[in-house]
Structure 1
């Protein structure tokens, strides 16, 4: 008979949980941060789920299932095959994927854009060996830069657009200079990071068939789910998607990255707990962010500690200059990975090892350059 500890949990289960936490640096940091926050300013444990934006988590779960279904259909490999035979160089391919990711992020949000472009890049890598770490990094930068342009691009833009009361067109016009400048900077960075070497297509020797039924159903379900999520009905949408695929193609649901969902839940709890600390509010009130320059700087810097969406919500209480705040938190999405949740999604989707160091080697200098540009424009 298995032995249990005082809480009725098998020791080997605890060991497996501990090993999983140790293998995932982000998860380990979040667990440690949660413990420290609970020691510093205890909250009832039962109240912690209330800090989670379940709409976002449910949307993420649905997108994970649907992109996995599209991958299983073979469509991504087919599209990758067509793409590599039209774009022959590594640099040209990188610039194309950056442009595609940025364009999609303006209308589908930065997270959804990642679910379209990163799996495509992974399929391309199976046909022609690519520097995937660098490719995923510039794609992550691209969705953060492209999403700056419209209110639909990311959650902080949507929040600021709704609270500012300005028109859609006025919002786009106000953010256009920053978006254009950062996209030009990213194009230059991508040009330098990738060489104009021809793609090695020796691995592209197999025929790439597509399961048209699975692909068609997944594409329709993807569009319907995004529409439901946009209307704040991600829960029913996820239920329909999950039940449908469990009954039809069970392996698709079982193969998604469940750990990513757990990390997102913990991020909401930790970041919102940190943002609610009286010391954070006291420090902002003491500094004062009434001027556009200070509001911009506060957004760019605070996002590095609590992510740009919580930073937007906190700073909006102290400044009504929505444009300066939008500039600041947009720049704040670069730098450390926690600055934007899209960064975490990109790294997790890539499945590449030792990504965090490589990501920060590029993203932190990019944040500094973006901060200088934003400061000049604000």
Structure 2
């Protein structure tokens, strides 16, 4: 029992904290009819549907196949670094930053071991993590808090993209320059003569139990499933854009997976949805406590962008988005602040912990060195992008 409690605290720390503060707020503000207005249902339905579809893609190995296909064209160390960093940068725009890192960081470590380039692992994983975090900030579906803030603010998708595009472009340029100057254009012959399928067989990337089926199963079933899952992804995009009813989106996604792959439901991060529910309850109750509301809203409205950035460094950007949005409607500043606030400390974006755990598992003696590299590069990106935001906004 004790081990289960410790495991829950380690694996679902944010959920446990959210549940505790929600429970305390329920004691201060006893449940009543107003509670029904706390829950932002659209956020939960959109996020849940997207997570199911992305999990479906994971289970048929689509993302590893894309990575292997790109690697088959690599001929230099610099080219390898650019490919590995580009994978989470671009994929996170559509599958979220945490899924991109869960998929590609173990894959990258296995590739570097295979190529005899483990000495570059810490820097490449750092740049991959940065890539996932700055890539995901571009789109409303790139991370959970973007989906929530878009739904709350009712900001059109085009306006959201235009808001975040300059920062994503500058970050992409910085990543490119980091790869260009940090890695030599040394010839790499490890993947010569190998096609994508051979690379997939050669790279023994760690797989979560039940998430990635055996290669034979992927080959046999991926064709028709890819087509169906792409259609489901389109349905989710239509739902996020409010071009179809939310219940239609949920019904189509759930029924399809009940038919195609029921095990998807076992691997969706339901804890994230429960975390959102707990924070919705806490923030809804907090707004009804005059002293607390006046204090927090006063602090937030002094400078919502900087407040969001600083708050993210301590409690991470998803809880910050939920908290700050309850006390301010400066949506542009909140969206910018929580996205840029995902850079900086290791906990600024909870997705960054995925990379940290992967590095510590493979190189336990190098966690201190990784933290130094990670923090240095993150602070560089944070200072540049926040400075840019202060000039533009």
Give the TM-score category using the shorter length: 0.5 to 0.7
Equivalent residue for 1:145? 134
Distance 2:163 2:232 in 1: 34
**Residues 142, 56 of structure 1: alpha-carbon distance in 2 compared, 3 angstrom cutoff:** farther
Equivalent residue for 1:244? 256
Which structure has the higher relative contact order (CA within 8 Å, separation 6+)? 2
**Residues 226, 168 of structure 1: alpha-carbon distance in 2 compared, 3 angstrom cutoff:** closer
Structure 2 residue 49 is the aligned partner of structure 1 residue 31: no
Structure 2 residue 73 is the aligned partner of structure 1 residue 78: no
1:288-320 CA-to-partner distances (Å, cap 9, x unmatched) read: 846xxx343233224444735335524534x5x
The CA deviation at 1:84 is 0.8
Q: TM-score, normalised by structure 2?
A: 0.64
The CA deviation at 1:266 is 2.0
1:216-270 CA-to-partner distances (Å, cap 9, x unmatched) read: 323333323333344375554344434433444344443x14xx32144225523
RMSD between superposed Cα atoms in Å: 4.7
Q: Is the 8 A contact 1:178 1:377 kept in 2?
A: no
Structure 2 residue 372 is the aligned partner of structure 1 residue 352: no
Given the alignment, which residue of 182, 195, 199 partners 2:171? 182
The CA deviation at 1:158 is 3.1
Q: Is the 8 A contact 1:146 1:179 kept in 2?
A: yes
**Residues 295, 248 of structure 1: alpha-carbon distance in 2 compared, 3 angstrom cutoff:** closer
Equivalent residue for 1:375? 390
Equivalent residue for 1:6? none
**Residues 128, 80 of structure 1: alpha-carbon distance in 2 compared, 3 angstrom cutoff:** farther
1:123-164 CA-to-partner distances (Å, cap 9, x unmatched) read: 56556647777656544533543455567763476368746x
Distance 1:85 1:240 in 2: 36
Q: Is the 8 A contact 2:57 2:63 kept in 1?
A: yes
Given the alignment, which residue of 97, 103, 115 partners 1:119? 103
Q: Is the 8 A contact 2:18 2:275 kept in 1?
A: no
The CA deviation at 1:86 is 0.7
Distance 2:122 2:35 in 1: 35
Q: Is the 8 A contact 2:49 2:249 kept in 1?
A: yes
The CA deviation at 1:79 is 2.7
| Structure 1 unmatched ranges of 5 or more | 1-11
Q: Is the 8 A contact 1:102 1:146 kept in 2?
A: yes
Aligned partner of residue 352 in structure 1, secondary structure: helix
Distance 2:23 2:345 in 1: 24
Q: Is the 8 A contact 1:101 1:139 kept in 2?
A: yes
Given the alignment, which residue of 8, 19, 28 partners 1:42? 28
Q: TM-score, normalised by structure 1?
A: 0.66
Structure 2 residue 243 is the aligned partner of structure 1 residue 226: no
Aligned partner of residue 343 in structure 2, secondary structure: coil
Equivalent residue for 1:313? 325
Size of the aligned set, in residue pairs, is 345
1:178-209 CA-to-partner distances (Å, cap 9, x unmatched) read: 44333333444555676767485598384974
The CA deviation at 1:331 is 2.1
The CA deviation at 1:18 is 1.4
Distance 2:276 2:149 in 1: 20
Distance 1:143 1:262 in 2: 21
Distance 2:127 2:106 in 1: 14
